[in-house]
């Protein structure tokens, strides 16, 4: 018995030794910075002062988040983005997944081509699209002019700037969503469709009675991931519009970045970050509750 117990203890020590580098990295680069951000959020630290000069001001930063007009605008813009982005990414992702699930010549090429934007840097993508959407000399407006359409000044217009951000984000994310949904489609057994064919079910009936229910767990995962990522919208906004025009595309993460590293309001930025965390956490918990009503796990 002692030998068996000794072996278990040796295995645990070996596991701890192998896990230690990862645990140290987790502690140093994630847990400690998170704890520090909590402390900073209750102070007026300006990033330039010493830690010993930190001045605690209680909940003032958090109350300021809800009073600040720019914070309100950034949260509003994120929800506007969600309204335009989430339905389209779910519907188009499902449509592309169905198309990519067909047995066509060169289908592997089409799958790879659709996924290329996903692995491309947001910086590179945003710079290219900023040129394409240039209101004066951009390729998009040039092509529109060839068919008699006068294109808008995309990134300098309050309405069209957000439309452009949504469109570019969908273009980049559609490959990821489609490939995940494609995996879910291929996991559905053919027996269901064969039985439906024997019963004379229409294509619409098979879609609503078999495909959508069976695909719902994968669709729930995709919607959850897309929702969380949308709340953290930043790269394309900073590069394409810098939050403009007049704050029309400003987002909360963009505000956190500017308050922390441009205006040196680190305490206020940390408070904004934790307010965003609470919102994302609440939405995620709500999604977990709602999944019980429409997600089908039994097959």
Domain ranges of the chain: 67-294
**pLDDT tens, N- to C-terminus, the chain (299 residues):** 455 556 666 788 888 888 888 889 888 888 898 998 999 999 988 877 777 778 888 899 999 999 989 999 999 999 999 999 999 999 999 899 988 888 888 888 888 898 999 999 999 999 999 999 998 888 999 999 989 888 899 999 999 999 999 999 999 999 999 999 999 888 888 888 888 888 888 888 888 888 888 888 889 999 999 999 999 999 999 999 999 888 999 999 999 999 999 898 999 999 999 999 999 999 999 988 888 877 777 65
DSSP, res 27: I
Give yes or no for a contact between 175 and 116, defined as CB atoms under 8 angstroms apart. Answer: yes
Chain position carrying tokens 């963009």: 254
- pTM of this prediction? 0.87
d(CA 82, CA 104): 34
Q: What's domain 67-294's superfamily in CATH? A: MetI-like (1.10.3720.10)
The dihedral formed by the CA atoms of 22, 28, 274 and 171, expressed in degrees to the nearest 10: -50
């Amino acid at each position: 018995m002692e030998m068996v117990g000794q072996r278990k203890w040796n295995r645990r020590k070996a596991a701890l030794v192998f896990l230690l580098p990862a645990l140290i990295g987790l502690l140093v680069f994630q847990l400690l910075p998170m704890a520090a951000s909590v402390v900073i959020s209750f102070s007026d630290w300006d990033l330039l002062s010493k830690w010993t000069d930190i001045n605690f001001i209680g909940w003032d930063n958090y109350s300021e988040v809800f009073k600040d007009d720019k914070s309100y605008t950034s949260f509003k813009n994120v929800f506007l983005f969600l309204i335009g982005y989430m339905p389209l990414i779910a519907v188009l992702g499902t449509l592309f997944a169905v198309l990519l699930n067909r047995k066509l010549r060169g289908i592997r090429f089409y799958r790879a081509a659709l996924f290329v934007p996903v692995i491309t840097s947001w910086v590179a993508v945003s710079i290219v699209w900023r040129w394409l959407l240039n209101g004066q000399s951009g390729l998009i407006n040039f092509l529109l002019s060839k068919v008699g359409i006068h294109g808008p000044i995309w990134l300098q217009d309050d309405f069209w700037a957000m439309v452009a951000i949504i469109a570019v984000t969908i273009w980049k994310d559609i490959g990821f969503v489609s490939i995940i949904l494609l995996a879910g489609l291929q996991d559905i057994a053919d027996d269901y469709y064969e039985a439906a064919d024997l019963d004379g079910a229409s294509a619409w009936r098979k879609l609503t009675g078999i495909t959508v229910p069976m695909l719902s767990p994968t669709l729930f995962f995709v919607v959850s991931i897309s929702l969380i990522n949308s709340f953290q919208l930043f790269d394309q906004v900073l590069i394409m519009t810098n939050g403009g025009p007049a704050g029309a595309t400003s987002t909360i993460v963009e505000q956190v970045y500017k308050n922390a590293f441009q205006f040196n309001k680190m305490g206020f930025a940390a408070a904004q970050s934790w307010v965003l965390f609470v919102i994302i956490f609440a939405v995620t918990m709500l999604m977990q509750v709602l999944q019980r009503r429409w997600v089908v796990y039994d097959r």
